Amino acid sequence: MRNKITFETVRNIGLALPGVEESTTYGVSSLKVGGKLLTCPAINKSAEPGSIVVRVTFDQRDELIGEAPDVYYVTDHYVNYPSVLVRLSRIDRDALRGLLRMSWDYVTSQATRKKRRISRRIR
């Protein structure tokens, strides 16, 4: 039997990524990088219990859901946000590690783009 994936597992994997810190979002534990959300438990009532929300691009979300709809999904509440819902009971550690890295890449690239836009305005 494989080890059960919990938010503690998510936290341990996520905190190994550069600059990731534990924080809170809407009153629940979350992981952020540069103050920007990476992942947290999905607390909206539309999400299935035992799910997390992970920030990814819309294209990445579509690809993940297309490849593994038993693991990844989205509800109407989250559809307009660049994120995907993940059933922790259905994902394995390697896939979770890759997903968190994908999210880290997305969130840090967004921060870099924003800094470039600001520095162009200052010049």
Q: How many CB atoms sit inside 10 A of residue 26's CB?
A: 10
- Residue 4: what pLDDT? 92
pLDDT in tens, 104-114: 999 999 865 55
Structure-token match 């109407």, residue found: 76
Sequential DSSP letters for 63-122: HHHHH-TTTEE--TTTTTSSEEEEETTT--HHHHHHHHHHHHHHHHHHHHHHHHHHHHHH
pLDDT at 63 over 60: yes
Task: Note the CATH number of domain 7-115.
Answer: 3.90.1150.30
The pTM assigned to this predicted structure is 0.88
